[in-house]
Structure 1
Amino acid sequence: MTANNNWLKWAVRLQALAQTGLAYGKDVYDIERFEEIRQIAAKMLVEPSGLPLEQVEELFCNETGYQTPKLDTRAAIIQDKKILLVQENDGLWSLPGGWCDVDCSTMENVIKEVREEAGLEVEVLRLVAILDKAKSNPSRSAHHVTKVFYLCRALGGAFQANSETVASAYFALEDLPALSVGKNTAEQIALCFEAHQAEHWEARFE
């Protein structure tokens, strides 16, 4: 792990400890200390991120209660030995998906995300994998993220450009476009192909 990654890891841990302390602490002096620790954690990210402190605090210190991982759901839709990807505003491609809404199960969320990003109605066929982003994706995050991949079947619909995605297309595994690796890697997409081809599949997990 590089020094920069160590700084991120320490900042994330300090923020989590401070947030827990603020949620369960009773002593007014302890609350003040936890607030100070949380601000220090935010300041640690200002220089490497290049963002102003106010924005870092908004993105990084905006939750209450015990800190838990965020859930990201992704849909693998495979037809004719090709997988559906959507292109985002930055030009990179990913499996349709996104953060899990608080009022959705992971399966409900992946159906919703495919509808919003790819314009398709789908049914979920099987769970492919539950992966730890910190272990599986090279892109670092100030939040710990658990990624859930589902194999889905398209039932109908058509793509329409929207605020999140500008195009959609099917790609063969050996001909993938430039990927948004924080959201999915070539290895994760290969795992989805493997799950699609298997008669019986045991979900991978970390």
Structure 2
Amino acid sequence: MEEQWLTWAKQLQAIAQAGLAYSKDVFDIERFKMIRNISLEILSRHTDMEVNKIKDLFANETGYPTPKVDVRAAVFHKEQILMVQEKSDGKWSLPGGWADIGYSPAEIAVKEVKEETGYDVKPIKLIAVFDKKCHPHPPSPYHVYKIMFLCELSGGNAKNSIETNDVQFFDKHQLPPLSIHRITKNQIELAFEHLKNAHAPIYFD
């Protein structure tokens, strides 16, 4: 579970964002700006990031606040799982990323695998809908739902992308260093469970 200070900071940011989107009263607008600044200050104190940088990443959205959606694909070949080495931190994750407008979750999984690995896949089963705050990821300013699909390899060839340095398949017991703000060991192990058991229940939260 995420630390309480992070939950409070994100809740304050959500309240401020909704208030700034819908409030008409100038005094209320100023109060919501103050609430947003408090949330930014909390994040800055606990993450060593500058307030202005956090504001650009965290407090630049408008409208009613909703969780972000991260889609990941678990693709297997000979009981090994497909992983990509991220350029941003040099560590490894399942192919995937933020959901794009106009695509279904399954379409995002197919698109991300193709872009990041060169492989063609077909989603065959929903493995899980994770709430990121319920898992041992590093602190994140966003409230994120992570959707994971079990996918079947159908073609293509391995290639790197603008976001990845390498593409490889790994054994369950020989996983590389993980990019843990994207994926955790337990989440990968859950994917292996669904590979072994077609009737495994969908995980949520």
TM-score normalised per structure 2: 0.93
CA positional deviation for 1:50: 2.8
CA positional deviation for 1:128: 0.5
d(CA) in 1 for partners of 2:203 and 2:6? Answer: 27
**Bigger shift: 85-94 or 193-202?**
193-202
Pick one of 21, 32, 40 that aligns with 2:19. Answer: 21
Does residue 1:36 correspond to 2:34, yes or no? Answer: yes
For residues 17-166 of structure 1, what are the structure 2 equivalents within 5 Å?
A: 17-89=15-87, 90-166=89-165
Query: Residues 137 and 104 from structure 1, CA distance in 2 versus in 1: closer, same or farther, beyond 3 angstroms?
Result: farther
CA positional deviation for 1:62: 1.1
Does residue 1:193 correspond to 2:178, yes or no? Answer: no
d(CA) in 2 for partners of 1:193 and 1:45? Answer: 35
- In the TM superposition, structure 1's runs of 4+ consecutive aligned residues that sit over 6 Å from their partners are none
Residue ranges of structure 1 left out of the alignment (5+ in a row): none
> Does the CA contact (< 8 Å) of 1:137 and 1:184 recur in 2?
no
- Matched to 2:110, the amino acid is I
CA positional deviation for 1:130: 0.6
Does residue 1:7 correspond to 2:5, yes or no? Answer: yes
d(CA) in 2 for partners of 1:200 and 1:135? Answer: 24
1:157-198, CA deviations, whole angstroms, 9 ceiling, x for partnerless residues? Answer: 122222210101111111111111121111111111111111
- Matched to 1:152, the amino acid is C
CA positional deviation for 1:155: 1.4
- Matched to 1:70, the amino acid is K
**Secondary structure, counterpart of 2:173 in structure 1:** helix
**Secondary structure, counterpart of 1:66 in structure 2:** coil
CA positional deviation for 1:137: 3.0
**What is the alpha-carbon root mean square deviation over aligned residues?**
1.6
d(CA) in 2 for partners of 1:137 and 1:110? Answer: 23
CA positional deviation for 1:139: 1.6
d(CA) in 1 for partners of 2:160 and 2:170? Answer: 19
d(CA) in 1 for partners of 2:175 and 2:198? Answer: 25
Query: Residues 36 and 197 from structure 1, CA distance in 2 versus in 1: closer, same or farther, beyond 3 angstroms?
Result: same
- Matched to 1:130, the amino acid is V
CA positional deviation for 1:9: 2.1
